[in-house]
Amino acid sequence: MKLEDGWITSARKVPSPHFNQRPESEIPSLLIIHNISLPPGEFGGPWIDQLFTGTLPADAHPYFADIAHLRVAAHCLIRRDGELVQYVSFDQRAWHAGVSAFAGRENCNDFSMGIELEGTDILPYTDAQYETLQQVSDLLLEHYPLTLERITGHSDIAPQRKTDPGPAFDWVRFKDSIRQENP
Ligand SMILES: [Zn+2]
């Protein structure tokens, strides 16, 4: 994998308008792992791309009426088959974390990068997802002032509001996989 201007060259690019500039050219130093599925518990379909680009049709599913207006996007999504989709350059401030804090600092969007895994809190993620996540994480660890201790879950930075990536996410497996490349 390679990065060019904060974009992973091999990712499928779906540019989102849901970002702005980081404060004072802040260099991102935190990686947040999320999950998402639309409708909840269902996989596939164009819905996540549409939500993250502000084009989700509110009438396509009863659940969508509540979320179609949201202006949100992660930097990347890893689908069940391991496909990598990128919506926002890592150098820009994507709107994925919401009200949040890490190590005493609020507004994690300012200084973090967000990766969504297509999934739910309780269903095991796929081998292909762990494989792609390892590759992306290795790339980000190489290019940004990131450490293993600064890779965390959405539920850790917004514990009152969020549960993702949930107990289904195997942190030991994931961190062991990147530790081999980044001792
Ligand atoms: Zn999340």
Domain CATH for 49? 3.40.80.10
Q: Which residues in the chain come in under a pLDDT of 50?
A: none
Model confidence, pTM: 0.97
What is the number of structural domains in the chain?
A: 1
pLDDT of amino acid 25: 82
Q: What DSSP state is assigned to residue 38? A: S
Out of 42, 83, 116, 131, which one is annotated catalytic?
Answer: 116
> Is 106 annotated as catalytic?
no
Q: What residues have a C-beta under 5 A from ligand 1, the ion?
A: 34, 154, 164
For residue 12 the two structure tokens come to 């499928």
Could you tell me the distance, in angstroms and rounded to a whole number, from the CA of residue 181 to the centre of ligand 1?
26
Half-sphere exposure of 48 (CA within 13 A, CB side): 28
| Domain span including residue 86 | 3-181
Buried b (16+ CB within 10 A) or exposed e, 27-41: ebebbbbbbbbbeee
CA of 159 to the centre of ligand 1 (A): 11
pLDDT at 182: 66
**Cα(118)–Cα(43) distance, rounded to whole angstroms?**
7
Q: How far is the centre of ligand 1, averaged over its atoms, from the C-alpha of 44 (Å)?
A: 18
Distance of CA 91 to the CA centre of its chain: 14
**Ligand 1 centre distance from Cα of residue 19 (Å):** 16
Q: What is the pLDDT of residue 181?
A: 65
Tell me the CA–centroid distance for residue 170 and ligand 1, in Å. Answer: 16
